[in-house]
Structure 1
Amino acid sequence: MPRWLVYRIVMSISEHTLRIATRQSRLALWQAEHVAALLRNKHPGLKVELVPMTTQGDRILDRPLANIGGKGLFIKELELAMSEHRADIAVHSMKDVPSDMPPGFMLAAMLPRADPRDAFVSTHYKDFASLPQGARVGTSSLRRQCQLKNVRPDLELITLRGNVDTRLRKLDENHYDAIILAAAGLIRLGLESRITEYFKPEQSVPAVGQGIIGIECRDDDARNIAYVRALNDAQSWQCCVAERSFAQRLEGSCQSPIAGFATLSGDRLQLHGVIGSPDGKEMYRGAHIGSIDDAEAIGVRLAEELLKDGAGPLLERLRQESP
């Protein structure tokens, strides 16, 4: 490459500022700062700034997410900032990103997956099996509620909202006997010591995209898409494609407990999926395996198998019950 062209590229990067829209929680800021550091390292001279903001999902804490519109409430304001050119990209926990991307936006990259498991956290009990009859367990997730109730219908599951620090404080104040959180978030915040037990993925199948940080761009923003794509991890991407296509094919509402978790072994991808009722009394489980190159098709096939097994009427009933 001619020296003059190298100089022009370097100058172009140094004159450009990439703005990251992010929620203001400590975990969201950690994730955005992590992406910013990776971008600066990958593109020396690139200026990266954070644009912190509070989303509707952060403001409404007195009701379950499923009753106020689902996890998409965490990202709408970030997308609005991008559409108004107040920000260029947004950093998300992929488990918060709906299966359908809104027009004008795209996922440009996903980082290597962190620990995808659910974590049991308690100040009084050493593990989930030690919980007494009727124990109070805090969780904001219908997916977790469904799977926990399926094996322990005696538990009193109580809505738990707020950021990680707020949830831990409520546990320490004895509002709950235990709480369930994503292991990845606790580890990223240096709170791994608070984890009492890790659930095996087959005990509590993780949420679609759990443990993966995703980066969203405007789909017409070629320059920033190119910057971001340099960070993409192909394995995380393919696993998340399988999981998201599974959820998308099911067309579940925010009242639908759906879990999907993909793993890789060489060039083979295995996807485990769960659909259930919030009370855990009705549950459909399955798995499908295939080539990593067929990730999207694997998700669709598993969804269709579970629908054929009887999950369809359950999902339709949950859609009708959705507020």
Structure 2
Amino acid sequence: MSKIIRIGTRNSELALWQATTVQQKLEALGHDTTLIPIKATGDQVLDKPLYELGITGIFTKTLDVAMLKGQIDIAVHSMKDVPTQLPDGIVQVAVLERAVTHDILVHKGADFLESDASSTIATGSLRRKAQWLNKYPHHKVVDLRGNVNTRLLKLIENDWQGAIFAKAGLERIKLLPKDALSLDWMIPAPAQGAMLVVAMEKDGFSKETLQKLNHKPSEIATGIERNFLRTLEGGCTAPIGALAEIKDQTVYFDGVVFSLDGSQKIEVKKSIPLSKAQGFGQACAKEVLANGGDKLMESIRNENSALH
């Protein structure tokens, strides 16, 4: 008897798109599947910024619990939402081929970027906020929470000049405005644009099946970025960006950490042969820490603990 693979997912439009994509790939391989949507804590608490909730994995924890209870076999995540340390018993099995990595600005007219007047930009991300204020220190950044559809609606309803989104998310659910501005100067979140599938470590059937969906270059690049993040001890409470790109058997890496207000920035840019990429993310993070990143991370931790 063939096993029906139960696919756990958040119930937002984007999460369902991602889970359905995995479902279609598994069914193309001849497997029977069923989708099990679950509402995540991060989708329920919309009146506080993520960093004030003080929880890493706020969008993944509900699915972790469902998997550990045996209610689902696999879970599909936006990889950038997943903590670098997975719960005991749950393992990373497949990283799908990565989409575009960069952020975009959805706006009501971009003329304000040429002005010295104060403007208001919305984002729920500390990383986006810090990088925006680093480039536009005279602007104000306000918190924006909710799924993609909710955030787009809030932009329309408020007198903000624009809001920042991941391009991949808007493209996937066909909501990308034609005039959206590419923020190619902004370093993305580690693993942005990638989808991750996890399973129980002891579930040999699901692990073997999902391995067929794994895209090795995407797995390597996101692994380097997440190791950079883990070594800096970032989680979702520090403005950390990282991007690893593989071209012609070479890994090009750009990693950065900012102060919460965007005024301080410590960056590392390096390349290494792909054959020597093991430990590259950690090495880049250690360079950042040695160049003042340790003091900067300490001050961020102090500021965050004062908020809670």
For the criterion TM > 0.5, the same-fold answer is yes
Q: Which secondary structure does the structure 1 equivalent of 2:236 belong to?
A: coil
Residue 69 of structure 2 corresponds to residue 87 of structure 1: no
Q: Could you tell me which of 148, 153, 176 is aligned with 2:160?
A: 176
Q: 1:304–1:89: structure 2 CA closer, same or farther, 3 Å change rule?
A: same
2:186 is aligned to: 204
**Range moving further from structure 2, 277-286 or 247-256:** 247-256
After TM superposition, give the deviation of residue 321 of structure 1 in Å. 2.9
Is 2:195 the counterpart of 1:213? yes
Match of 2:42 in 1: 57
Tell me, yes or no, if the aligned pair for 1:119 and 1:199 is still in contact at 8 Å: yes
- How many matched pairs? 305
Give the Cα separation in 2 of the matches to 1:32 and 1:300: 31
Q: What is the CA–CA distance in structure 1 between the aligned matches of 2:100 and 2:258, rounded to whole Å?
A: 24
Are the aligned partners of 1:139 and 1:180 in contact in 2 as well (CA < 8 Å)? yes
- In our comparison, the structure showing a higher alpha carbon Rg is 1
Q: Displacement of 1:160 after TM fit? A: 0.3
Q: Find out whether 1:129 has 2:116 as its counterpart.
A: no
For the residue of structure 2 that corresponds to 1:230, the secondary structure is helix
Q: CA deviation at 1:177?
A: 1.1
Counterparts in 2 of 1:137 and 1:243: CA distance versus 1, 3 Å: same
Q: 1:286: which partner in 2?
A: 268
Aligned residue in 2 for 1:315: 297
- Per-residue CA deviation, residues 117-149 of structure 1 (Å, 9 max, x unaligned), is 1011012326x7346621110001000111111
1:300 matched to 2:287:
no
Equivalent in the alignment of 1:187? 171
| Contact 1:160–1:167, Cα closer than 8 Å, also in 2 | yes
Given the alignment, which residue of 14, 38, 44 partners 2:25?
A: 38
- Equivalent residue of 2:177, what SS? helix
* Structure 1 residues not aligned, in runs of 5+: 1-11
Q: Deviations over 1:189-219 (max 9, x none)?
A: 011235521111xx10000000000101111
Aligned 8 A contact 2:116 2:138 in 1: no
**Rounded Cα–Cα distance in structure 1 between residues aligned with 2:284 and 2:262:** 20
Change (3 A) 1:209 1:131: farther
Matched residue, 1:8: none
1:112-151 matches, within 5 Å, as: 112-125=97-110, 129-130=113-114, 133-151=117-135
Q: Identify the residue that residue 255 of structure 2 maps to in structure 1.
A: 273
User: Helix, strand or coil: the match of 2:277?
Assistant: helix
Q: Is the 8 A contact 2:83 2:235 kept in 1?
A: no
Report the CA distance between 1:266 and its aligned residue. 1.6
TM-score, normalization by structure 1: 0.91
Q: Which residue of 2 aligns with 1:75?
A: 60
The AA in structure 2 aligned to 1:183 is: K
Return 132-141 or 158-167, whichever deviates more: 132-141
Q: How far does residue 294 in structure 1 lie from its aligned partner after superposition?
A: 3.6
Aligned to 1:258: 240
CA 1:61–1:155 in structure 2 vs 1: closer, same or farther (change >3 Å)? same
| Residue correspondence of structure 1 range 224-263 to structure 2 within 5 A | 224-263=206-245
Distance 2:295 2:279 in 1: 23
Deviates more, 1:266-275 or 1:64-73: 64-73
What amino acid maps onto 2:14 in structure 1? L
Whether contact under 8 Å (1:105, 1:216) holds in the other structure is yes
> Percent identical across equivalent pairs?
35
Question: Which region of structure 1 is more displaced relative to structure 2, 106-115 or 292-301?
Answer: 292-301
Q: Residues 146-188 of structure 1, C-alpha deviation per residue, up to 9 Å, x if partnerless?
A: 1111111111100000111111111112342100000000000
Offset, 1:222: 0.8
The answer (yes or no) to whether the contact 2:122–2:163 under 8 Å persists in 1 is yes
State the AA in 1 paired with 2:213.
L
Q: Measured at CA, do residues 130 and 191 of structure 1 come closer, stay the same or move farther in structure 2, by a change above 3 Å?
A: farther
* CA-atom RMSD in angstroms: 1.5
| Contact in 1 for aligned 2:229/2:235 (Cα 8 Å) | no
Corresponding residue to 2:10 among 23, 28, 43:
23
Moved more, 247-256 or 278-287: 247-256
Contact 1:106 1:219 in 2 (8 A): yes
